[in-house]
Structure 1
């Protein structure tokens, strides 16, 4: 009976092992294999040929025969005689691979029920040298990657120096290798390689790849542990990027979370640089802002800030990050209870290299008091400065329960020899490790702290093992010169997306949009950005672009008391929409064209449940686009039939029965920002027919008829005439009754960029009345000139006056609001509980742009 029970248990165990695959290590003659149900790495243990000889991707059923050195150590040997493998005294460093060492076998172990560990042991003995090296692999059942690292120690005189380490050096028979810039992974067809370190450097040759980084440390008796390399596999080339991003999600120190904050930079500053009493960072002004957020955001819209952030302005310039008690006499204490009532943490800005405004005061004081200076900065790896920086940051987290840091300003290197670190490229290693140490230190006090690292950083996904967000690169804000825009905020959107296009399209960097800082919504007393008379549509468009890109740290660089109720509503509805769709918008890929070439572009967010597309046309000419619904967008349900809805800037039912592999075709109107949702067709809204515009109000569904537009006919045209540096012309047109309001605009693009002294003056005469039009331009490269029209019958005269005759393209446009007719009002068959984005204009409005005239001025 007992024997039968044992047999039964044995069968059950075997069955469970086959049902729940395990990580394993298997041995064959001359090889050891480590792997799991998804991948295997076959390693030759023959000493003269030690290294990986095959990678098996079980998921894609692909196998790669390779030659690998497995690791290489660049060691600078001290002492007497030539270094290992060298012929002459003074030849350094030695390039050491396993073949140069004594192989001492391997051991197998289990770290836990799911993790198998394989350790190879090597040694080398020489003059004043006794090296022990362990090469350690880990694999976890169910995962699709294998990691490895080295532990190196010297049991002798500790006089040798590890210059750099290579953790992967592979040669393939034939392979397609790509990406691999500084701090990035290397991609094969269905696998990725990387070192989990922001300073990883990759060398890619024909069928060859080497992954290494600078170490710059002595080898001592205490083992030096390297960062880990990772080998991950995917099911196909089309899913490789998604596989890599899934891996990044797992290594993020605090995962991906929505984080809403206010930042004070464009609201108030240090008294030394403030522009008015209202813009001084002092106790009363800060308390007033907290109260304003409590009223407008919490009470009226039910949203809580995650952090209230004091940017540059809180510290005493003549100190190392001490609070300036001249304008904050009680330090941060008065803010804590009011913020606690809002369920909001205090956050602060600090700059490792000492900031921007009045940096010279900070740095000079620091140097005079014994802190390490390099150029115009303090050295973040300087022994004294980094100790004091860490002390103050940890102190503030402890004393004020800080929930957020914005660390702004990271030096690329420091070449000073007396700061307690090595100069040259080794200082970069020390700077990176100092940053890592600082992030770990504050997280020990508050494990949930949000850390945002800005200027000086770079887009390596391995920063996210320590930080929550990394700066996108570029400027805080700027204006795109190459793309004519009719308002400043629109120009700034194009600039920001151009930087992102360079990151993700031109340079093909792999970094999750969800962990990117792109700078937030700016409208403060120190920078209105969109102008003091900005239209609601302009502001709302940027808010929608901001959250729609897929960033998840939402920054409000605003003066809360200056926002209108409609602007608050735009912010609140956008944030609520983003939170409602958080699992989708965190899966992002930038798609389509280059904003700086006036091409349509966008961002795709894709899961099996829903696809969201944020699309933008940055120019005044409409764009026809096609988007193929396949794995290139991300995860997608290959079996689902999809219905397509526009949810911004209006609601419409656009297409149905779209299937995997088919193309979504649509037109983007001039300057249009559009958000489209694709959902399984069984989730479509009942009562809305294909092609209908509609709106939802409570339990009512309003259906609109598309209005037939009257063609704009130009009459009495006087073509442009240029004499004595004055260009003139005129024309007449009449609009139909469906027209609610309209703007006449012309775009002048000179053949060459005009210098300040040549920039023209513009004048319009509408129905005999002189008008001073609005002019938007950028560095003399183009000029938008526009004004609202008083009615539907209009005689337009125009003048362009300059210090010399101008040449270029002159085009006239009508921007019109056309009223839509209500076709039907229905009761919703069920309550619509979907959170919708805000509306930049009224539901019953159609935006129409007509190009009416075009000239080449010679």
Structure 2
């Protein structure tokens, strides 16, 4: 991996480059005259549009019909072409070995172009940042109104001409691609629009709220390149996993929800859960347990986020016990206050002390934000919390009077940053209110798959129907609507076997074993266990530990996990595949009551790059008899699956003859 370079080739042209890409910034006098992006991998060059970037303002008309009395035109576009540029500066970025993001650990270079204030009083700075070995550049805009609040309604960070522009999905915040999937781009926000407009690739984000005076608005976008046939892997592994808030890695946790539902519980219940999971998984079977998540029921809903009377020592004793097993406590919080009667009780307890909106408490409210943040920090500092389940944010386009945030969404982004500053290795699971945008993972570690917590569809036992439902939500709500979304970061509700789980309080045949292997084979780092420990037999603990150990040992391969096969709702054979230079992994399930044949080309299923080995030996870590001892890319392989069968295949590359 060669280092990035920074050079002033000719007067007025500043260049940043690495092995993959090159970006040239052209200035003429005091103008930013142009930006050229060169894809070295595919031999293409792209020129940014004449505007380079644009900021769209609209002072509009007040609700009473009176226009804003400021002497400024109502709609207006500000672009690089209309601004006076200061002298561009190039700077080397040293790598930080302790950086939370993988990208921060790499050295790099950046080009910064500050602009003089314009008539609106906006201070704007444009930055391009390139890291060593990265197939992408990040373009950043820092916008700050210096004189008065500014009604910025849209910021376009990228605009360039390119062939074959496609929006990669049908939900908000999906990236766009061009040149047959060899170029990808997008504003790094789940609220962004990235796609085609008037024949150009654009990456932008809209707003409905003003930016307060001397408040910074930071908007960033990615522009990257991929080899033919390697778009998904490049976007997810070489870009997204490098920039995500916390690198991918197995996070095994037991969740109390289906053992308690809305019932309150106490320290005795909590310590017993920690002890049983610690002894059975960690001490007896050598698995790693990361966290015990205490869901709804730990607090007293007659107060606001205070422990109930059963936790006289809060989670302090629980934390000490968890630490003895190498784990830590996690906790459920709901920014909007929770659900049902407990939510109403919390709202009643708060009275008029805190701000609310249509969904409950408003995180963007100044008083509630400060209170909620202090409750979270107290959990980290005094109770050793290593994992937050933040369940429910709302009001994404509603600004409360006096708030420094444009919405609850902006508030939660800021909150997560402050919590990670306190504890960089914190695992954060955002649930209700999210959707299948890959750009969530700059702030969160996992998001909800969508749909009901659990339900039943298809054929077979209740457990088989639950698995079909679970995986149909993964496919319909994520894979089908956002093909570049990393399913390795979904909260799926994993494995459910508890006394209070409707329809899932018993086990028939090998159903539970199938559920365990399918959950870990899905490759999601959010490895949730909803299993009453007192119900588990030694053989079931054995299977759980074996699958958990297998998944953790295969982190470097499972990070590449992607969907293969068809639709669970249609009872088609489906599953997950992942590949790394070390091996390929394949988990396949037949959701039907009929025997099925599934045919595949290993090269296509593993999305093998041209330089990858073509021949593989095959074994099954979940003990299934395979109809083959190996396979070769380009040759069709057929698998016979019994009704509801789950088969896991581990494929090791064979040495070249």
Cα distance in structure 1, aligned partners of 2:47 and 2:597 = 46
**Is 1:169 aligned to residue 162 of structure 2?**
no
Cα distance in structure 2, aligned partners of 1:49 and 1:204 = 27
The TM-score normalised by the length of structure 2 is: 0.88
1:455 counterpart residue number: 432
**Is 1:133 aligned to residue 124 of structure 2?**
yes
CA shift, 1:646, in A, is 4.0
1:530 counterpart residue number: 504
CA shift, 1:649, in A, is 5.1
Larger fraction in strand? 1
1:445 counterpart residue number: 422
- Decide whether aligned partners of structure 1 residues 159 and 385 sit closer, same or farther in structure 2, where only a CA change above 3 A counts: closer
CA shift, 1:590, in A, is 0.2
Q: Contact between 2:357 and 2:395, CA under 8 Å: does it hold in 1?
A: no
SS in 2 for 1:228: strand
1:812 counterpart residue number: none
Cα distance in structure 1, aligned partners of 2:488 and 2:324 = 28
- Decide whether aligned partners of structure 1 residues 51 and 477 sit closer, same or farther in structure 2, where only a CA change above 3 A counts: farther
Q: Contact between 1:52 and 1:68, CA under 8 Å: does it hold in 2?
A: yes
1:179 counterpart residue number: 168
Cα distance in structure 2, aligned partners of 1:182 and 1:349 = 27
2:585 counterpart residue number: 612
The structure 2 residue matched to 1:58, chosen from 24, 28, 40, is: 40
1:554 counterpart residue number: 527
SS in 2 for 1:457: coil
CA shift, 1:561, in A, is 0.7
**Is 1:260 aligned to residue 244 of structure 2?**
no
CA shift, 1:124, in A, is 5.1
- Decide whether aligned partners of structure 1 residues 125 and 539 sit closer, same or farther in structure 2, where only a CA change above 3 A counts: closer
2:642 counterpart residue number: 669
CA shift, 1:45, in A, is 3.6
CA shift, 1:258, in A, is 1.6
CA shift, 1:58, in A, is 0.7
2:550 counterpart residue number: 577
Cα-to-partner distance string for 1:26-45 (whole Å, 9 max, x where unaligned) = 44577554433311234454
- Decide whether aligned partners of structure 1 residues 621 and 412 sit closer, same or farther in structure 2, where only a CA change above 3 A counts: farther
SS in 2 for 1:301: coil
Within a 5 Å distance, the mapping from 1:301-340 to structure 2 comes to 301-325=285-309, 327-340=310-323
Q: Contact between 1:366 and 1:372, CA under 8 Å: does it hold in 2?
A: no
Cα distance in structure 2, aligned partners of 1:629 and 1:106 = 49
- Decide whether aligned partners of structure 1 residues 366 and 162 sit closer, same or farther in structure 2, where only a CA change above 3 A counts: farther
Q: Contact between 1:239 and 1:632, CA under 8 Å: does it hold in 2?
A: no
Cα distance in structure 2, aligned partners of 1:313 and 1:520 = 21
Q: Contact between 1:367 and 1:373, CA under 8 Å: does it hold in 2?
A: no
Cα distance in structure 1, aligned partners of 2:388 and 2:205 = 28
- Decide whether aligned partners of structure 1 residues 41 and 472 sit closer, same or farther in structure 2, where only a CA change above 3 A counts: same
Within a 5 Å distance, the mapping from 1:270-281 to structure 2 comes to 274=263, 281=265
Within a 5 Å distance, the mapping from 1:437-516 to structure 2 comes to 437-480=414-457, 483=458, 485-516=459-490
- Decide whether aligned partners of structure 1 residues 20 and 582 sit closer, same or farther in structure 2, where only a CA change above 3 A counts: closer
Higher mean C-alpha displacement, 132-141 vs 39-48: 39-48
Q: Contact between 1:374 and 1:416, CA under 8 Å: does it hold in 2?
A: no
Q: Contact between 1:154 and 1:219, CA under 8 Å: does it hold in 2?
A: yes
Question: Is there any run of 5+ residues in structure 2 with no aligned partner, and where?
Answer: 62-69, 96-106
2:99 counterpart residue number: none
Q: Contact between 1:318 and 1:366, CA under 8 Å: does it hold in 2?
A: yes
**Is 1:517 aligned to residue 494 of structure 2?**
no
The structure 2 residue matched to 1:207, chosen from 182, 199, 213, is: 199
The structure 2 residue matched to 1:41, chosen from 20, 23, 39, is: 23
Q: Contact between 1:118 and 1:136, CA under 8 Å: does it hold in 2?
A: yes
CA shift, 1:227, in A, is 2.5
What is the number of residues matched between the two proteins?
A: 631
Within a 5 Å distance, the mapping from 1:60-459 to structure 2 comes to 60-64=42-46, 67-76=49-58, 91-112=73-94, 114-123=107-116, 125-126=118-119, 129-155=120-146, 157-172=147-162, 174-179=163-168, 181-188=171-178, 189-205=181-197, 207-215=199-207, 216-218=209-211, 220-221=213-214, 224-236=216-228, 238-246=229-237, 247-268=239-260, 274=263, 281-325=265-309, 327-366=310-349, 368-413=351-396, 415=398, 417-418=400-401, 420-421=402-403, 429-459=406-436
SS in 1 for 2:158: strand
- Decide whether aligned partners of structure 1 residues 505 and 151 sit closer, same or farther in structure 2, where only a CA change above 3 A counts: closer
SS in 2 for 1:218: coil
Cα distance in structure 1, aligned partners of 2:615 and 2:642 = 27
Q: Contact between 1:366 and 1:378, CA under 8 Å: does it hold in 2?
A: no
User: Which has the larger Rg?
Assistant: 1
Q: Cα RMSD over matched residues?
A: 3.0
Cα distance in structure 2, aligned partners of 1:442 and 1:49 = 40
Q: Contact between 1:36 and 1:141, CA under 8 Å: does it hold in 2?
A: yes
Cα-to-partner distance string for 1:75-96 (whole Å, 9 max, x where unaligned) = 24699xxxxxxxx977523122
Cα distance in structure 2, aligned partners of 1:153 and 1:381 = 20
SS in 2 for 1:411: coil
The TM-score normalised by the length of structure 1 is: 0.68
- Decide whether aligned partners of structure 1 residues 670 and 649 sit closer, same or farther in structure 2, where only a CA change above 3 A counts: farther
Cα distance in structure 2, aligned partners of 1:587 and 1:45 = 41
CA shift, 1:660, in A, is 3.0
Cα-to-partner distance string for 1:235-260 (whole Å, 9 max, x where unaligned) = 22x01211111211111222122211
SS in 1 for 2:269: helix
Cα distance in structure 2, aligned partners of 1:369 and 1:225 = 31
Cα distance in structure 2, aligned partners of 1:268 and 1:531 = 13
Cα-to-partner distance string for 1:657-677 (whole Å, 9 max, x where unaligned) = x33333323232322221122
Cα distance in structure 1, aligned partners of 2:14 and 2:266 = 66
Within a 5 Å distance, the mapping from 1:639-658 to structure 2 comes to 639-648=613-622, 650-652=624-626, 654-656=628-630, 658=631
- Decide whether aligned partners of structure 1 residues 68 and 362 sit closer, same or farther in structure 2, where only a CA change above 3 A counts: farther
